[in-house]
Amino acid sequence: MSVHTFSSRDFTRDVSAAKRAAVEGPVFITDRGRPAFALLKIEDYYRIVGQGEPTFLSVMDGIAGAGGIEFNPPRLDIQSRPAEFD
């Protein structure tokens, strides 16, 4: 695993290079020579915080003010049939 460092100015000029570097390991972004931010692959972030990638349902459950909303979509009566090849 490689660790890369970008100044804030270099990061702003070439975000794509920082993203490519983050594939190899963490990227530290400095502000006036001191580390200010870290750029990680999302998989590495989830590993560090000890949780898996969130599911769609957990994201929806996290929406503020969405409690108490009921959603009962109508059931579709779909009949499938074998494909016919000529």
pLDDT for 65-86, tens place per residue? 766 777 788 888 888 889 989 7
Which CATH number does the domain housing residue 11 bear?
3.40.1620.10
**For the chain, what is the domain count?**
1
Question: Can you give the residue range of the structural domain that contains 23?
Answer: 4-53
Task: Please tell me the predicted confidence (pLDDT) of residue 21.
Answer: 96
pLDDT in tens, 20-43: 999 999 999 999 999 999 999 988
Does pLDDT of 55 surpass 70? yes
Q: Which residues contact 24 (CB under 8 A, 6 or more apart)?
A: 1, 2, 4
Q: CA 62 to CA 83: how far, in whole Å?
A: 42
Q: Evaluate whether residue 63 is within a structural domain.
A: no
Task: Please tell me the predicted confidence (pLDDT) of residue 66.
Answer: 66
Amino acid letter, 11: F
What does residue 10 show for φ and ψ, rounded to 5 degrees?
-65, -40
pTM above 0.75? no
**Pick from 67, 71, 18: nearest CA to 2:** 18
Q: Evaluate whether residue 29 is within a structural domain.
A: yes
